[in-house]
A and B are shown apart, each in its own frame.
Chain A
Amino acid sequence: MAVKTLDNKRNRLLMATALFLGLGAVPFFAPPFYVVFLNDALIIACLSMSLNLLVGYTGLISFGHAAYFGLGAYACGLLLKSAGLPFGVSLVAAGAFGGLGAAVAGFFCVRLNRVYFSMLTLAFSLIFWAICFRWNDLTGGDQGLSGIPYPNLTWISQMIGRPDFSSAQSYYLVSLVVVAICIAAMWIIVSSPVGLMLRTIRENEQRSTFIGVETRRVKLAIFIVAGTIAGLAGGLFAVFNRGVYPDFMYWTKSAEILIMALFGGIGSFWGPAIGSLTLLLLHQETVALTEYWSFALGVILLVLTLRFPSGLWGLFERFTNTRRSK
């Protein structure tokens, strides 16, 4: 038993490393179009995984997670554009603002349970959205914040001996490293003692308090962590797309991330990443037919809820398990 878990652990680490290296190799041979797509996909995958810390691991169904993505995006964009701060500092600030927003909202949200929690997260996301939408002078209002200066990343292309790399290709590598760090941090959290405490809260919050867990504090902490990672993702996304728009943090965006996570499977660590990748690909393919996007999402949700409540990852596990046991 112990040997097997050790093996599993090593295998998982090996697979994650292989995935990281494989993704790192992409800009060296794939056409730039794919690099651009994959960059966004990585960031959104990281975002929906951060939401899964709340939904899947703690049982907190947040309807407003895009707010912290948006706060990070605005913070990073403004610090780069208006304050002229360096990229690294702005990115860290994006995480800090996401976390700060989550701390403010979370302070109130974790006092409520179930649907009341969800409603309050939605309410806060609408408030944050409205502030960014209305604060014309700072955020550009409904026009958004465009013309965010791109960081100079030639040191990266030089370091890896590929001076011909475009800034997008270099940026992709930055995204990959930041996302990998976030994912590693999330992995550490969910496999730690804190991770088990989160799951006791998901399963039975009242019982959890009776084994001595300060559930409100734990919930607030994980809400802030999730918000910080969402903020970092927002910062990465804003700079790469050179702009921030209010609909980054609109409630429909929150719903989209939640659907991605559910689609991939909130019962697993990687599920939400698979879900967001699949949906982004689908979106990419149907981009000419945008009026069908809602329809497609609706159908997916329908099939999912009725037939596959454990998502794509659940399907995958069922498939591999039956094969193995045969």
Chain B
Amino acid sequence: MNASANDLLTVRALRKTFDGFQAIRGVDFSIGHGRVHAVIGPNGAGKSTLFNLITGLDRPDEGEVTFLGSPCSHMSPASLCRRGMVRSFQKSNTFLGLSVFENIQAAIVSRSGEGWKIWPPLGRRFADEVQEIAEQVGIADKLDLLPEDLAYGYQRQLELAIALASRPRLLLLDEPTAGMSSTDTHRAVALLKRIVEDLNIVLLITEHDMGVVFSLAERIIVLAEGQIIADGNPEDIRANAEVKRVYLGKS
């Protein structure tokens, strides 16, 4: 596609094979303008794999990912995070032995470049920022708990808090509402809307819940068997016959 130099993210001719199985077979897209982009597709379509390739958890066999104008397929997740590409995971993924406070504090420490300092002692430094982020996602009264003591919906919010603490420019959320009750889902959607508006963050999400997708996304990429079969605004996607056949028809 015609990617321009000031695109936030460009994915070009990406391929990934696992033991002969082609999980991603030639994916191209770019994120220029627009706030919320969704990747949808049936189970096993390759959505998580695509996220892993973009965020440096996995290396593509072919193709290239460009973030903020520089090729980044060789970069580590840590350096991508420092450049502003941050992600969450499909399965809850936090620091289980650390308090909710420390989970968020750790991400702030790392982002602010203090991760290598041995003086002064950390104590409750950054408490104000931790508080602010925790309030944004609605877990401010749970800072002294351990992640495992949180209800599932709040664990997902904690993940979001950790991600926000890294001050992302591009935030990739892998099924942010999976496994949530419908009340939690409504709250999460409202929260994501607010965050996108308040914090000037571009979101790229995968999601199975079409209600969530259509209420959040301005643009939808449909992935099936490792290939993009449609890419456009929600109305186009709703009307697309191919998409209906592969995906929407089933649900």
Contacts and interface: CB of A to CB of B under 8 A. Distances in A.
Interface stretch (A185-193, A268-276, A300-308): A185-193
B123 interface: yes
A214 B165 CA distance: 17
B94 A211 contact: no
Contacts of B111: 211-212
Given A207-B95, A211-B107, A212-B115, A192 B121 contact: yes
A194 B116 contact: yes
Interface string B95-117: 11110001001110111001111
A194 B118 contact: yes
A193 B96 contact: no
Given A207-B93, A207-B95, A211-B166, A196 B78 contact: no
Interface in A179-201: 188-189, 191-197, 199-200
A197 B110 contact: yes
Interface string B12-52: 00000000000000000000000000000000000000000
- Which bracket fits the contact residues of B? 35 or more
B121 A191 contact: yes
A193 B109 contact: yes
B87 interface: yes
A215 interface: yes
Contacts of B86: 210
Nearest to A267: B97
B181 interface: no
B137 interface: no
B105 to A, nearest CB: 7
Interface string A194-232: 111101101110111111111100100000000000000
Contact of A200 (B77, B95, B124): B95
Contacts of A196: 98, 102, 105-106, 109, 122
Contacts, number: 99
Nearest to A215: B78
Contacts of B116: 193-194
A299 interface: no
Nearest to A202: B97
Given A192-B117, A197-B110, A212-B115, A2 B124 contact: yes
A208 B115 CA distance: 11
A188 B76 contact: no
Contacts of A194: 115-118
Contacts of A218: 115
A197 B106 contact: yes
Given A211-B110, A211-B165, A204 B117 contact: no
B118 A193 contact: yes
Nearest to A187: B121
B187 interface: no
Interface in B77-92: 77-79, 81-82, 86-87, 89
Contacts of A207: 89, 93-95
Contacts of B119: 188, 192
A5 interface: yes
Interface string B58-77: 00000000000000000011
- Residue picked from A193, A195, A206, most chain B C-beta under 10 Å: A193
B157 interface: no
Contacts of B110: 197, 211-213
B78 A197 contact: no
Q: Which of B77, B89, B165 has the most CB of A within 10 A?
A: B77
B95 A209 contact: no
A215 B116 CA distance: 11
B55 interface: yes
Contact of B76 (A2, A193, A203, A209): A209
A192 B94 contact: no
B162 interface: yes
Nearest to A59: B97
A186 to B, nearest CB: 11
Contacts of B124: 2, 5
A192 B119 CA distance: 6
A183 B117 CA distance: 18
Given A188-B121, A211-B166, A212-B166, A197 B96 contact: no
Contacts of B95: 199-200, 203-204, 207-208
A203 B78 contact: no
Contacts of A213: 78, 110, 115
B55 A210 contact: yes
Nearest to A201: B95
Counting from the closest, the 6 A-B pairs by CB-CB distance are A212-B81, A203-B95, A192-B118, A191-B121, A211-B107, A212-B110
Interface of A: 2, 5, 9, 188-189, 191-197, 199-200, 202-204, 206-215, 218
Given A192-B121, A194-B117, 10 more contacts: A194-B118, A203-B96, A204-B95, A207-B94, A210-B55, A211-B106, A212-B115, A213-B110, A213-B115, A214-B76
Interface of B: 55, 57, 76-79, 81-82, 86-87, 89, 93-98, 102, 105-107, 109-111, 114-124, 162, 165-166
10 contacts: A193-B109, A193-B117, A196-B106, A200-B106, A203-B98, A204-B95, A210-B86, A211-B81, A211-B110, A218-B115
